[in-house]
Amino acid sequence: MDLLARREHGRAELRQKLWRRFSEVEPSDVDSVLDQLVDDGLLSEHRALSSFVRERIRRGQGPVKIRFDARHRGFDADAVELTMAAEEIDWIAAASDVLSRRFGGREDALSVDNIVDGVDGNEIRETLVSGNERRQIEIDQQRASRKEQARRYRFLTQRGFTGEQISEAMRSR
C-alpha cells in the first residue's frame, strides 16, 4: 500500500518491487496479493500506463524514449501504443517546445549577421576591408551554425524524438 500511495504502478513493476522487499515470500503469494489489489481497484495497469505516459510527455520526452522506458517497466507494447495514441500529442510541437525550453532565444546567436567568436558582426564589417576576410567570417559563422544545429539534433535524439520530428521542429523555429 505504501508503494501505491506514492504513485501508480504497473503489475510487473509492483511485483518486482515486492519480490525485492519480501524475498522470503513465495512468488505465488505475491501474485495473489496483486490479484487482490486489482480486484479492489487499487492496482490498474491502464491507470499506471496513462499516468506514466502523461508524466513523460510533460517532462519533454519523445515517443521513442517513452516506448523504451515503458517496456522496461513491464508495460505491454500494444497498450503503450494505444495509450500514446489516446494522448493525441503533436510530437513536432513537443520537440519544438523542448528546444525552446532548453535553448531559449539562442536563434539570434546563430544568425550570420550577429556573433562570430564573441565579436559583434557590425564591428567586424566596419574594421575589415578585405573580401576574403569577410568570406572567411561567413564560413566560420556557417560552421558554428551547423555545429549548433548538430548539438540541438543530438539533444532531441537523446530525449527520444525521431529524426523526422526533430527536422520539422528545427525547421519550424
Each domain of the chain, given as residue ranges in start order, spans: 2-87, 91-172
Residues 26 and 11: their CA atoms lie apart, in Å, by 16
Closest CA to 98 of 172, 16, 12, 1: 172
pLDDT tens sequence across 70-128: 999 999 999 999 999 999 999 999 999 999 999 985 454 444 444 344 555 555 555 55
Q: CA 168 to CA 126: how far, in whole Å? A: 37
Query: Which residues lie across from 116 on neighbouring strands?
Result: 119
CB 160 within 8 A of CB 66: yes
At residue 4 the predicted structure's pLDDT band, cuts being 50, 70 and 90, is confident
- pLDDT at residue 112 in the model: 40
Q: Where are the beta strands (DSSP E) in 18-110?
A: none
Task: Calculate mean pLDDT across residues 134-161.
Answer: 91
Q: In the predicted model, is pLDDT for residue 17 greater than 90? A: no
What are the pLDDT digits (tens) for 21-60?
888 888 788 889 898 999 888 889 999 999 999 999 999 9
Determine the average pLDDT of the residues in 121-147: 73
- The whole-number pLDDT of residue 108 equals 44
Which candidate, 56, 46, 53, 59, places its Cα nearest to that of 84?
Answer: 53
Reported pTM:
0.72
Query: Which residue shows C-alpha cell 504497473?
Result: 10
Residue type, 169: A
Q: Which residues pair with 119 in a beta bridge?
A: 116
DSSP label at residue 25:
S
Which pairs with CB-CB distance under 8 Å and at least 24 residues apart come from 111-118?
Answer: 112/138, 112/141, 112/142, 112/145, 116/140, 116/141, 116/144, 117/144
Residue 142 has pLDDT above 90, yes or no: no
